[in-house]
Amino acid sequence: MGRTFAWVIAALLFVTTRAVADVKVMVAVDPSDRESIVISVMDLQAQLSRVTGQSVSAIRSEDLGDVMRSTRTGEYDLYIAPAHVAASALSHGYELIGSTEHDETYQLVARPGAKAPAELKNGKIYLTQQDSVGAYMARGMLNESGQSLKMFQQVLYRRTSGAGLFAIDTGLVDATVAKQTDVQAWAKKNSSKAAVLLSSHAVPGGMSVVIKKSLPDAVRSKLETWFLGPTGTMSGIGRVAYHSDLGNYKYVSALGNWTPSQLPGATIVTANEALALQQKGVPIIDVRIVKEYQEKHIRGAVSIPYGEKSLKDVAFDPKMDEWAGPQKLDKNQPVVFHCNGAECWKSYKAARVALANGFKTVYWFRGGFPEWETAGLAVESTPAGEAFTQAKTK
């Protein structure tokens, strides 16, 4: 019995020591990125083991959706990944070391003669695989312009990024998304008449390297020094020679979730415009959850929480959501809807639902509570248990 107990304790100590000693690395590869295909995980693992003096386990994955999920739970100590995966990690306890290429701009390119994304409805779009940078940027840019991938009759996901431009010029598809440098090179070489309808902001290029903040300082310092030093060249990846502005990662992160910058039928207002409307007696409706409203809200705002279960997409299904606004508010009176800023879809959806229910005058305060607070306008709190101000019923 004593020997068995001692063996168990020894085994647990061994496992614990290994768990502490190991540095877990995820190399997330976009299959449509030709430069990423030759990455050698074994070489990288050996290099980082020498650098840290610890055992390093490196894993390569092409399932970018699952890799992005893992950034939210902190499953790896180090991510070497495309910009959108790195952006997610930076929002969940990681910090940036750098990237292997300079910033890129992505463009939505359409068939000759097209002038607006809405004209592509019921057409075909060519994208690199789902969850790739290109597909991610396509969804984000379309959402931002008030459109959706669901507007297309067919979305063709393929592994060859450059083939989308060829497919447009040959009439096989109506649109694609590609890097601006590729679009310009293609247009020059092939005298392409394809139309550029949308362009993104700067997006960190190549592979970004991010590291978990909670790693021991000594280990983190060794890794950062190696990646940024003259010998820190990763086999098949290259050197981390660029450090994009963190704002570019925030843009990429938000682009996947941002609401459109327009809402047909409603008037988009700023914080000061919302205040002016409130002073004229127009109610400001806070559709955030009750807890957020209790903690802090626009002074005088009315709480009617929007129960969101539908997709964060312009083609969302309102039947999946729950919201009492149409029953509590007078549709013949003007109303302002807001929530937690441009990344929050609840007020966008509430405004859409209100319009669909015949509300005459709808204002959408897209910047929401963050913009109001940044502007230094009046806020207040509601202690738990205290009755909320209720909207006037019809």
> What are the residue ranges spanned by the domains of the chain?
2-102+204-255, 106-199, 267-380
Other CB atoms within a 10 A radius of the CB of residue 65 amount to 12
- Range in 187-191, 252-256, 280-284 with the lowest mean pLDDT: 252-256
DSSP 8-class letter at 34: G
- pLDDT attached to residue 37: 55
CATH number attached to the domain at 106-199: 3.40.190.10
Q: What is the pTM of this model?
A: 0.68
- pLDDT attached to residue 21: 42
Q: Which of 15-19, 151-155, 188-192, 355-359 has maximum average pLDDT? A: 355-359
- pLDDT attached to residue 38: 63
* Mean per-residue pLDDT, 168-197: 94
How many CA within 13 A on the CB side of residue 19? 7
Checking if the pLDDT of 8 tops 60, the result is no
User: Letter for the amino acid at 189?
Assistant: K
* Secondary-structure class of domain 267-380 per CATH: alpha beta
Q: Give percent above pLDDT 70 in the chain.
A: 88
Grade residue 178 by pLDDT with cuts at 50, 70 and 90: very high
- pLDDT attached to residue 9: 44
Checking if the pLDDT of 65 tops 50, the result is yes
- pLDDT attached to residue 231: 75
The architecture of the domain spanning 2-102+204-255 is 3-Layer(aba) Sandwich (3.40)
How many CA within 13 A on the CB side of residue 270? 4
End-to-end alpha carbon distance in the chain:
77
What is the Cα–Cα distance from 342 to 253, expressed in whole angstroms? 12
User: For the segment 297-344, what is each residue's pLDDT rounded down to a tens digit?
Assistant: 999 999 999 999 887 788 889 999 999 999 999 999 999 999 988 878
**Cα separation values, 286 from 16, 102, 268, 297, 369, Å:** 48, 41, 15, 8, 9
Same fold, 2-102+204-255 and 267-380: no
The tokens for 215 are 């790693």
Contact 177, 106 (CB under 8 A): yes
